[in-house]
Amino acid sequence: MNIWYENIFHCNTIKKPRRPSFFKCCPDESIMSKIVEAILHANGDGHWVGDGFPVRTLFGYQGDARLLSPFLLFDYAGPHTFAPNSGAPRGVGQHPHRGFETVTIVYDGEVSHEDSSGGGGTIGAGDVQWMTAAGGILHEEFHSPGFSKTGGPFRMVQLWVNLPAKDKMTLAKYQAITNDDIPFVPFNGGRARVIAGKFQGVEGPATTFTPINMWDVRLDADTTVTFSLPEGHTSLIAVLSGRVTIAGQDACEAEIVRFSREGTSATIHADGDAVVLVLTGKPIDEPVVGYGPFVMNSETEIRQAIEDFNSGRFNQAAKQ
Ligand code: MN
């Protein structure tokens, strides 16, 4: 049962015909459109992470890990309206991560984080927490005390970004990126906030281990926009609200369009006002072996992670 999805609507049951999958040449022959390879959505109805995060997992590393690299997991929390809460803030208590980064983007509501490297704070609408778990971190995520008291609409994304083998055991770190740090780039038909990478020559504030673009994009109703996306990058557009049409296919709220790595652009049409998250990343061509919050390159490293966590070494690793 969909207990938390509000304003949810599904794509038209009548799909427009799919265009053949070949590269569409543009007037400028050097510009090649990426093609739509898949539309990803939650498998089932979602789940609660702790008691604070009603999440739909739009993809995870158990699936097409190679095709999605360097991205490992995409959780879309909400939209959900929380009632005022007089008790302890809802959320998820201490848990470990190793081998990757967690990127939390808040659209509505407020989240307070704390981790064993000393990173943390409260992030609200428009803010981003970029946490590098790397060699090991202990993490807590709760609604902020303020949001917990007042309640209200809640919506966020948590993305897991893989690290190359050589960086998996580096020191944990934390980037607090506030709304004010994120450049805002208006364009014909919408505007983009550049969290990471570069959009129309404007660079985002996040430091990344491998080349990544992350743009929070708002599109006006009934506009068509062509994004330049790097050749060779895993290229995703997550629809967070509204509906878009790409190469004759519809994608709605909580669906992710995965494009071909080949090609240098993607054209999308917003049927109504839409919010999309554009993600591209250079693939990391290494094995992905994961177990819950640990994502490494081999079974041996996973066993080591479990052993290190059980013997309390995560806390120490983060403080070295
Ligand atoms: Mn966490």
Distance 136 CA to ligand 1 centre (A): 11
Lowest model confidence (mean pLDDT) among 82-86, 124-128, 159-163, 310-314: 310-314
- Is pLDDT of 316 > 90? no
d(CA 40, CA 155): 19
Phi-psi region of 67 (alpha: psi -120 to 50; beta: other; left: phi over 0): alpha
Q: Spelled out in words, what is the top-level CATH class assigned to the domain 36-319? A: mainly beta
Of the pLDDT bands very low, low, confident and very high (cuts 50, 70, 90), residue 43 is confident
- Is pLDDT of 317 > 80? no
Distance 95 CA to ligand 1 centre (A): 6
Distance 139 CA to ligand 1 centre (A): 5
Overall size of the chain counted in residues? 320
Query: Is 232 exposed, middle or buried (CB count within 10 Å of its CB: 0-12, 13-18, 19+)?
Result: middle
Dihedral of alpha carbons 167, 280, 160, 189, sign:
positive
Distance 132 CA to ligand 1 centre (A): 11
Distance 83 CA to ligand 1 centre (A): 24
Percentage above 90 pLDDT, the chain: 83
Distance 140 CA to ligand 1 centre (A): 6
Of the pLDDT bands very low, low, confident and very high (cuts 50, 70, 90), residue 12 is very low
C-alpha distance across the termini of the chain, in Å: 45
Distance 201 CA to ligand 1 centre (A): 32
Distance 156 CA to ligand 1 centre (A): 13
Instruction: Give per-residue pLDDT as tens, 167-197.
Output: 999 999 999 999 999 999 999 999 999 999 9
- Is pLDDT of 22 > 50? no
Partners of residue 172 on adjacent β-strands:
none
Q: Give the residue extent of every domain in the chain.
A: 36-319
Instruction: Give per-residue pLDDT as tens, 210-248.
Output: 999 999 999 999 999 999 999 999 999 999 999 999 988
Partners of residue 219 on adjacent β-strands:
190, 274
Which tokens go with 97?
């991560």
Percentage above 70 pLDDT, the chain: 89
- What mean pLDDT comes out for the span 8-15? 42
Residue 295 is inside which H or E element, if any? strand 294-296
Distance 301 CA to ligand 1 centre (A): 20
Residue-level pLDDT at 117: 84
The residue among 278, 286, 284, 285 whose CA lies nearest residue 259 is 278
Distance 97 CA to ligand 1 centre (A): 7
Quote the distance between the C-alpha of residue 127 and its chain's center.
Answer: 13
Of 9 and 78, the one with more pLDDT: 78
Residue-level pLDDT at 108: 98
Residue-level pLDDT at 119: 84
Dihedral over alpha carbons 193, 198, 202, 207 (to 10 degrees): 80
